[in-house]
Structure 1
Amino acid sequence: MPRIVQLLASPVHRYVGRPADGPAPAPPGELVEEVRIRAGLGIVGDRYFGKPAHREASVTVIAQESLPPGADLVQVRRNVLTAGIAVDELVGSVLTLDSGEGPVRLRVNRPAHPCAWMDVTVGPGAWKALRGRGGVRCTPLNDGVLRVGPVDVTVEG
């Protein structure tokens, strides 16, 4: 059964400057059990919420199957970690996730390409290994709540 494995809502950017300098410390509490999503704005409390430059990429989703064992959202800086959903194949679709609070519809706009930071935060070779598997950038189409745990999934388009 498909699942939401982790959720991240971080108020700060951690990857500033050069990867060789290392990331800024992770703020406490950025991994959460649920997130509130607002249509066209993103995840309440996240660093990209309501930012005009990120409206089409305000929610990022990545498949756990794409990550090496032990890697998590704190390292890859995506918002939703799923299991059992091939999210990288959904560009151009509408992904609907329902974790019990009603459906959350996400327009999957484009791939979330990995960057050189992945070799620092996940491990050497991660940047190359995540190419084509770095998740997707989405626009939320309705308000809703996502929770960690089992999720009903539908895909349109």
Structure 2
Amino acid sequence: MAARRAVSTAVDVVALHVSPVHAYEGRPGDGPRPDPGPVSRDQVAVRAGLGLVGDRYFNHPAHRLAAVTVFAAEALEHVAGRLGLAGAPDPLVVRRNVVLRGFDVDGLARRAVFSLDSGDGPVRFEVHRPANPCAWMDAVIAPGAFKALRGRGGKRCVPLDDGVLRLGPATLVVR
């Protein structure tokens, strides 16, 4: 059996989010909880097997294989087009940790290993399951967003390396 060739893609890291608490709890009709502080970051520290330093899922036993969520910005453009919105929603509303432009994140298979290098060296991640959207999307984006994001919610991953991710140009390699 031949070894699979690594595929390298130039991407942009357009958003990085670290949130110490869950903003979407309770009923969507009641609105999201206010964030305790800025959750958007210019850079994030990644720890192997644990997640993103400062995030609510960091070293959380129930989320060890799903500590980091990766999402494609193009999914928000799809939602905007499908719902007739004036522009793509802010990536913060989907509450995903790493938002990329230029790669089909949802096309990654379970157990796929990919790396992201935004200038400080590659950080590998293993995909474990889809990051399915929730009904909150209808409340924070627009009615119909939940349905429009089905199959486009990103992936839940476990980091395999320590490292740093930064906003801006990056290289994504699928092994």
TM-score in terms of structure 1 length: 0.96
Whole-angstrom distance in 2 between the partners of 1:11 and 1:72: 19
State the 1:95 CA deviation.
Answer: 1.4
2:135 is aligned with 1:116: yes
Residue 6 (structure 1) aligns with: 15
Number of the residue aligned with 1:37: 46
SS in 2 for 1:2: strand
Flag structure 1 segments of 5+ consecutive residues without an equivalent: none
Candidates 134, 146, 154, aligned match of 1:135:
154
SS of equivalent residue, structure 1 residue 32 = coil
% identical aligned pairs: 58
Question: What SS does the aligned partner of 2:62 have?
Answer: helix
For 2:90, the equivalent position in structure 1 comes to 72
**Partner deviation per Cα, 1:62-86 (whole Å, 9 max, x = no partner):** 1000013332332111101100011
Which structure 2 residue ranges, 5 or more long, are not aligned?
Answer: 1-9, 81-86
Q: Map 1:89-128 onto structure 2 (within 5 A).
A: 89-92=107-110, 93-128=112-147
Equivalent residues of 1:56, 1:137 under 8 A apart: yes
Aligned to 2:5: none
Q: Give aligned pairs, total.
A: 156
Give the counterpart letter for 1:23 in structure 2. Answer: P
Deviates more, 1:23-32 or 1:96-105: 23-32
Q: Is the 8 A contact 1:4 1:149 kept in 2?
A: yes
Query: Does the Cα contact within 8 Å between 1:103 and 1:144 map onto a contact in 2?
Result: yes
TM-align CA RMSD: 1.0
Tell me if the contact between 1:91 and 1:136 (Cα under 8 Å) persists in the aligned partners.
no
| Residues in 1 aligned to 2:106 and 2:90: alpha-carbon distance in whole angstroms | 17
Stretches (4+) displaced over 4 A: none
Which 10-residue stretch deviates more, 58-67 or 88-97? Answer: 88-97
TM-score normalised by structure 2 residue count: 0.86
